[in-house]
Chains A and B, each alone.
Chain A
Amino acid sequence: MDTTFSQWAWLIPLFPFAAFLMLLAFGRGQRMLGVTLGAASSFAGLVLSILVLIEHMTDGTAYYQYAFKWLHFGSVTLNAGFEVTNLTAIMLVVVTSVSFLVNVYSAGYMKDDERISVFFSYVALFSFSMLGLVLADNMLTLYIFWELVGVCSFLLVGFWYSKPEAKAAAKKAFIVTRIGDAGLLLGILLLYWYMPDHALDFVRIGNVFEGNTGVIAAGVTTWIAVLIFIGAVGKSGQFPLHVWLPDAMEGPTPISALIHAATMVAAGVYLVARTFDIFQASQTAMDIVAYVGGFTAIFAATIGVAQNDIKRILAYSTVSQLGYMMMALGLNSLTGGIFHLFTHAFFKALLFLGAGSVIHAVHTQNIHEMGGLGSKMRITTWTFAIGALALSGIPPFSGFWSKDMILHTALQEKPFLFVIGVAAAFFTAFYMSRLFFLVFMGKPKGDHAHESPSSMTIPLVVLAVLAVVAGFIQTPWNDTLGTWLTDGAEKAHGGGGLVMVISAAVGLLGLYLGWLVFVKGTIARDAVSSRAPWLVRLLERKYYMDELYEMLLVRPLRGLGLLLNLIDDYVVDGIVRAVGGTAVLFGRGGTRLQSGQIQTYGLVTLLGIVILIAAIVGRRFW
């Protein structure tokens, strides 16, 4: 296939990688080098990605794939390579654009940190891995980058390593996602042994599973799909492996925007979309995806209502929105999932960067200690408002269109999930209005707040624009994205006026309720907590998930470890010592016999001879 830019797509991840290497080698003490290299490399990546995207927009069938033998022995060949499809192209743009903006933003946000060049090198490494993940043409390559983004996330969450919370959060992030990764790994193993020719590339996976031709038994297909989904659950913070994502907010805020809102956590959704043929071949797997997604959406949204940390609220909102994406995929709507991923990347990055701007100004993350920032930080306030409206699903902001599409699919496929989705949308709107009104309205709690420097506000404005317009690529009247992404297989779900009205109404209702409670005061703030304190407590403690894990996994494992340690010391090593002891005992007994009395020896010898003779002679007569 003749392509102009796609064949150079492999350069996109290499820009940040080069930046990473240079920072690693020369970064020490060079404060400006990190900023420059980070921004420059991601900008180069962005330009090339946009060119690739344009190429794919103009020619819907543009496609480029290249693979080489990475590991080869005997009859076994494992390939590595990259592939540019329409889906990859759009993901490339999402990742590079958010990455570029975050790099610019961090120049201001991290200005005073002494390890700024380390920070930028980590971000560059992350961008490299994430872009590699997007471009990967087979499961193994994808898995490699999948793990690398995990480790970058770990490094960045634990960036302020001397804080115990950061250390704990980094550890948790790594281990919990690792649980998911183990599932994905098993999925790949299964795929390797069942695929014809042990092929792992997405093209052939697609061919084999498409249309459910029965090359691979239905049970195995379900297993593969479920195992891959477990990987996605870990990475995308789906229930029950969501627990790491809110804790990961210990990292610097730009990181939360880049990794834990826009790109890496969406990798799970991307993975499911990439292997969509496998899922489509198994209805069971699809149902699992849909219900897990739906449950996560409502589950996290309710927790978000009772949190007090600005970043944690956003984190739970991310979990909830990822749940929406998964639900869309599970309802057989690839476009819905990817569309929501696309819009969510912009408005959630916007919200996080806005939150970062707020934190930068007031040096706290507790929303009850903020207030009245609206007049002091105009740009931040306005852009944050746009992000909040987009997230709450208010037309015509981007979040409305993508959420509407998902809800519409749900209504057609599984009305039960539609109800859940609507309820989650209501909670989303409510906690966003709570967040917004508490932070930006009301009485100022401190007077030192000020607007952030332009390096931070410009990305906010850019993202705000994107958060407004990104939704128009796919509306009920215009299915550009769907047709382009799925080669026309998925049509836009036409009309759907009712769904639009419901979803907009629910969003507005949530906002209005928030307004009543937190601005007007018509409803007392403790209306719920005074009547059902247990409910508030339950939500505040996040349904006791952490405690549950502690009780069910961590403690038993530690207990088992201690028990085995005792066994190792006393039983396994004890047997060894016992064997040694027995030998020593025999030796002691032996020394007793060694009396030194030559006459005793003589007597014993004599006895021995007599017995010998008796035996030899006796044998004759037997």
Chain B
Amino acid sequence: MLADLPILSLITFSPLLGILVLLLLPKHRSRWLKVTAITATIIPLLLSLWLYADYDGTKGGKSYEEKATWIETSLNKEAVGEVTSYTVNFQYHMGVDGLSMPLLLLTTIVGVMAALASVHVKKRWKSFYIWFLLLEIGMIGVFLARDVFLFFVFFELTLIPMFFLIGIWGFMNREKAANKFLLYNGIGSAIMLIAFVVLVATAGFSVEQLSDKQQINLSYSGSYEVISSNLTDPGSYVNMPADQNQGQDNPLYLSERMRWVIFLLLLIAFGIKLPVFPFHTWMLQVHAEAPPSVVMIHSGVLLKMGAYGLLRFGIFMFPGVAQDWAVALAILGVINILYGAVLALVQNEFKLVLAYSSISHMGIVLLGIASFNEVGLNGALIQMISHGFISALLFLVVGSLYERTGSTELKDLGGLACSMPFMSGILLAAGMASLGLPGLSGFIGEFLSLLGLFGSMKVITGIAVLGVILTAVYVLRSILGITFGAMPERFGAVRDVRLIEAVPMITLLAFIVLIGVYPAVLTEPMKHGFDVLLQQLTEKAGR
């Protein structure tokens, strides 16, 4: 049933339906617009839940692939001998595997929650939701694309809606923040494009021998499969028959140094998105200036695109180079963790505390990646998902909080547990999840990442564990500062959450608890996500 449907494309482009309806609606009917937009985000959620239910981890996701020729340009060279065609082709190639399945779910879930949280938006609902849905298309596409060019297009597609969402609906310094966001990420994308172009022009080369005749098709493609198999298996380089393959003398062979450079480019490109110290300053402003519902998306999903890209293209394509870089990655991770934590400790603006905490938590992802073993990689992925839910929840609360108090400065807040017990409870629970309390999702990611890293780098792990303490310090400082203590007079009349706010809060918390108590919901589909990579690594070690 499911296999007959182009389910991946349906998921990706179903928000378009919402956009179409939104375009037809008058722009002052805010209620209709909101209902339409929320419905439009629910469709991909339901579809992806269906996909998840049907997904069989053991097949490695091969059952859901959609391929169509997208761009095919003939290179103007005369056919010589048996060569019948010589082309550059980029395919519309979507696929899902253990790595993208959890992220897809994260995206669609956080999408719905953020749409619900957008009820606080005060102006220009129509264009807000159109940009919002466009952003969702981009995010889903990023996780499903299987062609570097397609990936790049989707990746860029997320930038423009974000730019407008920050720039129009943000807080005081929104335009500056939007500019910085676009510039920084634009540079990241440019670097990524360079790396991709080099990859397509070298490892993207493949030779296809048609079976019936002695005909040969030569092509440069952006296919992820072609590139990664060419890169990781030099024996079958560029798919040439064994006798013609000259290994390192092959002009298309990427030398060690070239691989090193491309890996570095990819590390920078995705490191900006992740963000890795010292490329993090843009996201502070985004966290502080963007509307909270957009930050839910940004912190919940967009940052994960960086980690996903690093895993998918940096690590999976260059396992060898990446492993040589493992110590550097781990050190970067530790710097992220401690730097973010120490800075979160002294911020006076709650949103900035959360921004630095995101830096700290993404450091844990880096640690997991740097471990290069099953435990750590799974930990990194779980940490990504978990941080997505947690930060979405935190910013959901921030949005509701700001609605009521008009401020997120720590010094203005206090004692809110008195007038808003429910929201304070949720905030405290989210904080506990963030500091890695067992039973909530944060712990699983953190524990597995550290466990994995400890297997390879003991001292670095020891230092990273200090982050566990510091996290507790800054989380408690900020959250207790908001909820505990004596309540100022002016908050006496503040109401607790409404139903429409409570529903996404409880849903997100439910997912956090679910992952925390029964992490197998995530590890089951991932089962074969890392097998290939680890196999390659062990082969490399054996050689």
Contacts and interface: CB of A to CB of B under 8 A. Distances in A.
Interface of A: 70-76, 143-145, 147-148, 151, 158, 161-162, 164, 166-167, 170-171, 174-175, 178-179, 181-182, 185-186, 189-190, 192-193, 557-558, 560-562, 564-565, 568, 572-573, 575-576, 580
Given A71-B520, A185-B468, A162 B484 contact: yes
A580 B378 contact: no
Contact of A557 (B342, B378, B486): B342
Contact of B438 (A73, A143, A158, A182): A143
Contact of A190 (B437, B454, B486): B454
A309 to B, nearest CB: 22
Contacts of B477: 171
A565 B378 contact: no
Contacts of A71: 444, 519-520, 523
Given A167-B485, A178-B472, 7 more contacts: A144-B439, A151-B432, A167-B480, A174-B476, A178-B469, A189-B461, A576-B184
B345 A557 contact: yes
Contacts of A143: 438
A75 B374 contact: yes
A162 to B, nearest CB: 5
A74 B530 contact: yes
A145 B480 CA distance: 23
A72 B480 CA distance: 36
A562 B444 CA distance: 31
B492 interface: no
A147 B343 CA distance: 25
Interface of B: 183-184, 277-278, 280-282, 339, 342-343, 345-347, 374-375, 378, 415, 417-418, 432, 437-439, 443-444, 447, 450-451, 454-455, 461-462, 465-466, 468-469, 472-473, 476-477, 480, 483-487, 519-520, 523, 526-527, 530-531, 534
B454 A193 contact: yes
Would you list the 4 A-B pairs with minimal beta carbon distance, nearest first? Answer: A561-B346, A144-B438, A167-B484, A189-B454
Nearest to B447: A185
B342 A560 contact: yes
A257 B530 CA distance: 50
Given A161-B484, A171-B476, A561-B343, A572 B451 contact: no
Contact of A175 (B418, B443, B473, B523): B473
Given A162-B487, A564-B342, A73 B378 contact: yes
Given A174-B472, A178-B468, A564 B339 contact: yes
A170 B374 contact: no
A565 B346 contact: yes
Given A161-B485, A162-B485, A185 B465 contact: yes
Interface of A, secondary structure class, is helix
B241 to A, nearest CB: 35
Contacts of A560: 342
Contacts of A576: 184, 281-282
Given A189-B450, A576-B281, A565 B465 contact: no
B468 A182 contact: yes
B439 A573 contact: no
Contacts of A190: 454
B484 A158 contact: yes
Contacts of B443: 144, 147
Contacts of A557: 342, 345, 473
Nearest to A150: B437
A73 B523 contact: yes
Contacts of A178: 468-469, 472
Given A167-B485, A182-B465, A557-B345, A161 B476 contact: no
Nearest to B518: A70
A73 B346 contact: no
A186 B438 contact: no
B435 to A, nearest CB: 8
Q: Which of B278, B280, B527 has the most CB of A within 10 A?
A: B278
B346 A558 contact: yes
A575 B468 CA distance: 30
Contact of A161 (B282, B339, B468, B483): B483
Contacts of A568: 281, 343
Q: Which of A72, A189, A190, A192 has the most CB of B within 10 A?
A: A189
Contacts of B484: 158, 161-162, 166-167, 170
A186 B460 CA distance: 12
A303 B504 CA distance: 50
Nearest to B375: A76
Q: Which of A72, A143, A167 has the most CB of B within 10 A?
A: A167
